[in-house]
Copies of this chain bind each other. A is one copy, B any other.
Amino acid sequence: MLMSTIQAGIVGLGRLGKRYASDLRWRVRGVSLVAACSLQAEELAWARSELGIAHTYLNYEALLNHQGLDAVFIVSSTSQHVPQLIAALRAGLHVFCEKPLGITLADCLQAEAVAARHPTQLAVVGFVRRFDPAYAYAKQQIAAGLIGRPFMLRSQTVDVDAVAGFQMEFVKSSGGIFHDMNVHDIDLARWFLQSEIQTVFAAGGAFKHPAFGEAGDADNVVATCVMENGHIAQFWASRTAAHGHDTQTEIIGTEGVLCVGRNAAAQRVEILDRYGVRQECVQTFYERFEQAFLLQTQDFIDCLLQGRRPALQLRDATRATQAAIALSASLFEGKGVVQTQPLNELEG
C-alpha cells in the first residue's frame, strides 16, 4: 500500500507555493507532483528546471483537466482560494487549501456547501501549527492530563519588522492583521479550549508604521475573547519585532501551564559576547514551521492513501474567519465588544 502514489498538482508558486512544491517533489512520501499552475511564466520555468515538473500551466482549468490528477494544492492569493477550491471539487479532485479559506463568511459557507455535495473528496484548509511537533506534543500532554483542565489560552503571532514592507502590499487582499496573523491563534484557542469564540474586544494601532493605519489596518493588535463555554483567550499580533518571528502560546490549566514556543531560538547555539548571553531567533514563520508544513502535507497525502478523514475540516476555517471578522469589527469599525453571529442563522 505504501507503494501507491497520489498524483498531485499545485496552483500558486509564490514564496510559500515554492515551499509546498519542493516538499511535494522531494520530501513527502506517497505523492508525485506531476503538474503546476501559475500566472507567472518564470515561476513555471522554475518548476520545470528546479523540480523537473514536466507539465506546467498558465491556466487553472487546464491544470484541473490534467490527465490522472488526484489532488490539487491551492497556494494562490487569498481571493482565489474559494473559487479554485470549488472548481477543483467540481472537477472531482481532492483539495488542500492554504489558510485562510476566505475573508468573508459567505465565501466560506459557499465552499462548505459545495464540499458537502462532494462527500467522497477531501477538502482541507491548513492550520499549520497543529502539525508543529511542539504544539502537537502540548495537545497530547494535555489529553494525558498534565495540566488538569485547560481554561485559558494566551497566544501571539509576532513577525519581524523586516517583512512589514512586504506585508503592506498584501493588507487589502489578506483581510488585515486578524485574518492574516491572529487567525492561527484563533484556531489554537478553538483547538485547545474546545469551544467557539463568542465575545471579543480588540485594541491596537499603527504604532511604528503609519501606513498600516492609513490602509485601515494596524501593526500591533491585542484582544480579549470569551468562548461559548466561558473559557478565555488573549491574543497579540505584531508586525514590528526586531528580534525575529516569535510565535508563542500558553495554555493554562487547573494544574499547570504549557508554554509553546517561548524559546524562539533559530538553532541550539548560545552566544556569550559583549551583548550578554543570547540566542539568535528564527526570522520567518516558515523557518519556524518548516517541519510543520512538511508534516501537514504528509498528513494530507496519508489521509488519501489510507482513506482517513483529516482532523481539520472546512468548518474549522469558517469558524476562524468568523472570529477574525469579529475582531476586525471591534477594532477597525470601533464596535467595542462584538459577538460572533450564530452560523446557523447565516446558513439559513
Give residues in A with beta carbon < 8 Å to B: 2-3, 26-27, 29, 50, 52, 133-134, 137-138, 141, 146-149, 151-152, 154, 199, 201-205, 207-208, 220, 222-226, 230-232, 234, 236, 238, 240-244, 246, 252, 254-281, 336-337
Residue on B nearest A278 in the bound complex, by CB: B278
**Chain B residues near A243 (CB-CB < 8 A):** 256-257, 272-277
**Chain B residues near A236 (CB-CB < 8 A):** 154, 234
Q: How far is the CB of A49 from chain B (nearest CB, A)?
A: 9
**Chain B residues near A137 (CB-CB < 8 A):** 266-267, 269
**Chain B residues near A277 (CB-CB < 8 A):** 243, 263-265, 278-279, 281
Interface pairs A-B: 8 shortest CB-CB: A278-B278, A256-B273, A201-B201, A134-B268, A257-B272, A151-B207, A259-B270, A243-B272
Assembled-state Cα–Cα distance A203/B227 (Å): 10
Central interface residue in A231, A258, A272, by most chain B CB within 10 Å: A272
Contact check, A238 vs B226: say whether CB atoms are below 8 A apart.
no
Contact check, B201 vs A224: say whether CB atoms are below 8 A apart.
yes
Residue on B nearest A261 in the bound complex, by CB: B268
